[in-house]
């Protein structure tokens, strides 16, 4: 009977150790993910983007985890760039150099 009790204690201890390792791995993965996000977010914040905008743009960088910081910031900026940035939507009479 004492053999069975000792075996049960050992199995319980192994299960607890496995749970603790899994929890530690999950915390480490979450910390790594947060670190990836944080390396882009401060730069976007310095450029004047709101925190929620910066976090959404940083999430886009998950697609290129091995890219340099510069490449990730560029990708995030391309996500934040207004769609009309390359077009001039002012009325023709207000554009410089156009005939009315």
pLDDT in tens, 55-75: 999 888 888 878 888 898 999
| Domains of the chain, residue spans | 2-79
Q: Which two tokens stand for residue 70?
A: 């510069």
Q: What mean pLDDT comes out for the span 67-89?
A: 78
Whole-structure pTM value: 0.47
pLDDT at 97 over 70: no
Query: Residue 89 has what pLDDT?
Result: 56
pLDDT tens per residue, range 2-58: 888 888 889 898 999 899 999 998 888 887 776 765 688 899 999 999 999 999 998
- Rounded distance, CA 73 to CA 64, Å? 11
DSSP per residue over 42-91, as a string? HHHHHTT--HHHHHHHHHHGGG-TTS-HHHHHHHHHHHHS-TTTTS--S-
């Amino acid at each position: 009977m004492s053999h069975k009790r000792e075996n049960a204690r050992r199995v319980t201890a192994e299960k607890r150790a496995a749970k603790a390792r899994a929890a530690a791995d999950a915390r480490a993965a979450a910390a790594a993910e947060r670190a990836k996000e944080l390396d882009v977010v401060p730069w976007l914040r310095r450029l004047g983007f709101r925190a929620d905008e910066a976090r959404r743009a940083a999430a886009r960088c998950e697609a290129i985890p091995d890219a340099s910081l510069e490449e990730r910031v560029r990708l995030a900026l391309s996500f934040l760039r207004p769609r009309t940035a390359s077009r001039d939507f002012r009325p023709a009479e207000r554009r410089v150099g156009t005939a009315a």
